[in-house]
Amino acid sequence: MSDEAESVRALLTTVAERGAGERLVPPVAELIGRARRARRRRRAFSFAAVLAVAAAIALPQAIPDRAPAEQPWPGYPATGPGTAAALAAGHWTRLPEAPIPGRTGAAVVWTGSEMLVWGGRVGDSARSDGAAYRPADRRWTVLPEAPLTPRTQMAYAWTGTVLFVWSESDGAVYDPVARSWRLVPTSPLSWRTGPTAVWTGRDVLVIGGWTDDGRPLADGAAYDPATARWRPLPALPVASDHPVTRLVPLAASDQVYVWATWAHRVNTSENSFETTFGMDLFRLDTRTDTWSTPVASGEAPTGVDQPVWTGHEIVVPAAMPYRPGSGPVGVGLRGGRLDPAGGLWRPITHGPVDDLRGQSVWTGAALVSFGNGAGAAWDPTTDLWKGSVGADHRELRDGLDGHAPADLGRADRGRQLRKLTVLTVGAPPVRRLVFRILRDPERVSPPRRPSSGGRGLSRSPVRSSGPST
């Protein structure tokens, strides 16, 4: 081992020894106990699975006309494109070659007639190029050069007439009819990366993000594209002992819901600390710019990643319960749905890809989730899932292997090293899913081996503790 390698090892050893502390007690009995319990659970589960299979075979014969699992939820199309049944029976179509490379972290919107893709990241480089795809004539066009520096993970929204993009300290809007970009005025927001944006029907709200040194931000501002003016939003009413770690906004009619995860660490002695954490939900009335903490009963989700507003209710697809830092991989995850008028959270039936941390898309009549090469569609009317969406597409399965669609730009575990990027998603009233599959031009050879709500809605804060490092 070289001198440098030895020095690095010495440094790492010091860090490891200090971090681990001196009094490490091997929890032998506890581990064996947990292992025994886990084995008993697996056996019980296997037995239950056998019973369930037997019941599934026997029951349809015994009860020819079964009722839906729950009372049907009104207001959604029962037939037609975009329904779970139609998606399960659908098939995939390969798109023509794109004029830009596949990417992650791009701004991607559906305008009603075409999909716009701009910015994002290809490999280690941020991009400032973009393209538009028009499904009607299956044609791509390159977007005009934007007046912005290359960037990824920006705030973006489609306002009905322009694509709004903003991050760091500046932004621009793109008008697809005029095929032109225009810089937006300087915002009242500080420099930040990773903000999120929602379109309220009148303003684009830009909130959250992180400072240059990684500190989360909880403020926001509203941009009115009609007047090209910004206004700062009032501060999120977070408690002092609920320091925000991330904001997830959702526009629902004239209200904007914001989930705020928080983690609060307190040193309980020189050598130990205690962290409490949880998730609060806030609501901004966009007519008055006032925040409130909505109160709802029922089982609120413990993790929120890609909430959707269906026009009738808020649907939160299954997500990992929030926990700061590393944590166990969740299983048996379930989403939730909230009728804001009724103020009642109801759990969604666990879906076949819910544990895979995939990507969810609302089609206008169903929620489609993809993960790890599998897809399933959730019918909001019956609260039932239909599997096999996309299962007919071998390349999709290869490309998605082990990757959530958000990571598809880096999907390189397929046997032939395909890069697959989700380029557009349906938005009401358009109900279409389009995927783009292409070979990565930079790496085609040689092939590699596969290798809670206002506090009224939040769950109780969870505590974890451990020795200080």
Residues contributing to the site for another protein (CB under 8 A): 1, 3-21, 24, 26-29, 31-32, 34-35, 38-39, 153, 194, 210, 212-214, 216, 245-246, 261, 305, 320, 322, 324-329, 357, 403-404, 407, 413, 448, 451, 464-467, 469
Q: What's the CA gap between 236 and 454, in Å, rounded?
A: 11
Nearer to another protein, 171 or 216 (CB): 216
Q: How far is the CB of 459 from another protein (least distance, A)?
A: 17
Half-sphere exposure of 406 (CA within 13 A, CB side): 12
Minimum CB–partner distance for residue 208 and another protein (Å): 9
Residue for token pair 């659908």: 90
* Complete DSSP assignment for 236-296: P---TT--EEEEEEEEETTEEEEEEEEEEEEEEETTEEEEEEEEEEEEEETTTTEEE----
Task: Using the minimum distance from each CB to another protein, give the nearer residue, 2 or 61.
Answer: 2
Q: Tell me whether residue 325 or residue 332 sits nearer to another protein (CB atom).
A: 325
CB of 242 to another protein, least distance (A): 14
- If you search the block for the tokens 């106990």, which residue do you land on? 33
**CB closer to another protein, 132 vs 319:** 319
Shorter beta-carbon distance to another protein: residue 92 or 210? 210
Task: Specify burial of residue 126 (Cβ count, 10 A radius: 0-12, 13-18, 19+).
Answer: middle
Q: How far is the CB of 95 from another protein (least distance, A)?
A: 26
CA gap 422, 104 in Å, rounded: 9
**Nearest to 91, CA basis, from 378, 394, 352:** 394
Comparison of 218 and 457: residue with beta carbon closer to another protein: 218
Q: How far is the CB of 191 from another protein (least distance, A)?
A: 13
| Cβ-based nearer residue to another protein, 31 or 344 | 31
Instruction: Mention every residue, 6+ apart, whose C-beta is less than 8 A from residue 385.
Output: 84, 349, 351, 352, 376, 377, 378, 379
Shortest spacing between CB 450 and another protein, in angstroms? 8
Looking at residue 158, what DSSP letter applies?
E
Q: What would you measure as the largest C-alpha separation in the chain, in angstroms?
A: 76
CB-wise, 15 or 142, nearer to another protein? Answer: 15
Handedness of CA 115, 120, 123, 126 (dihedral sign): positive
**Least distance (Å) between residue 44 CB and another protein:** 16
Kindly state the smallest distance separating residue 121's Cβ from another protein, in Å.
Answer: 12
User: Could you give the 3-state DSSP secondary structure of residue 315?
Assistant: strand
Q: Give min distance, CB of 52 to another protein, in A.
A: 23
Closest to another protein by CB, 255 or 369: 369
Peptide bond before residue 243 is cis, with ω within 30 degrees of 0: no
List the structure tokens of 339. 């009728």
- Note whether 358 and 370 are within 8 A (CB): yes
